[in-house]
Amino acid sequence: MNMLVRINRNHALHPAQVVLLEGRSNYTLIHFVGGRQVLSSYSLKVYEQALADAGFLRAHKSYLINPLCIRDLSRHVGGLRLLLSNGMQIEIARRRFGLVRNFLMRAAA
């Protein structure tokens, strides 16, 4: 993931520097390694398409996750959560659980 992903003519980012992207209505809050956050005027869908080749995982309608930053998978009352390298816990949507599980199993193999 040592590439530069171009979102448009003036906007690009390094996927390895991103922990997760959080959708907030028509905006996206980008959480970088080291704790820095940047609010972008692009929707999460734009980033999902741009980061598809970088292997980012849509675990929930509001979150696009860098799989290299997943530290643990845990159960909680409502389902499952991912623990990320920045300490955030992200709930996995029930509809996306199979996709996440398959992705993690392939990565572990």
Q: Place domain 5-108 in its CATH homologous superfamily.
A: LytTr DNA-binding domain (2.40.50.1020)
| Residue 24, C-beta contacts closer than 8 angstroms, at least 6 positions apart | 39, 62
Sorted by sequence, the CB contacts under 8 Å of residue 70 that are 6+ apart come out as 82, 83, 84, 85, 104
What one-character DSSP code corresponds to residue 17? G
Overall pTM surpassing 0.85 (yes/no): yes
What kind and span of H or E run contains 70? strand 70-76
- pLDDT, one tens digit for every residue, the chain (109 residues): 557 777 767 777 889 999 999 999 899 999 999 999 989 888 999 999 989 888 899 999 999 999 899 998 888 887 889 999 999 999 998 888 888 888 888 877 6
Domain parsing of the chain, residue ranges: 5-108
Q: Which residues contact 89 (CB under 8 A, 6 or more apart)?
A: 74, 81, 82, 83
Task: Convert the pLDDT of each residue in 38-65 to its tens digit.
Answer: 898 889 999 999 898 888 999 999 999 9
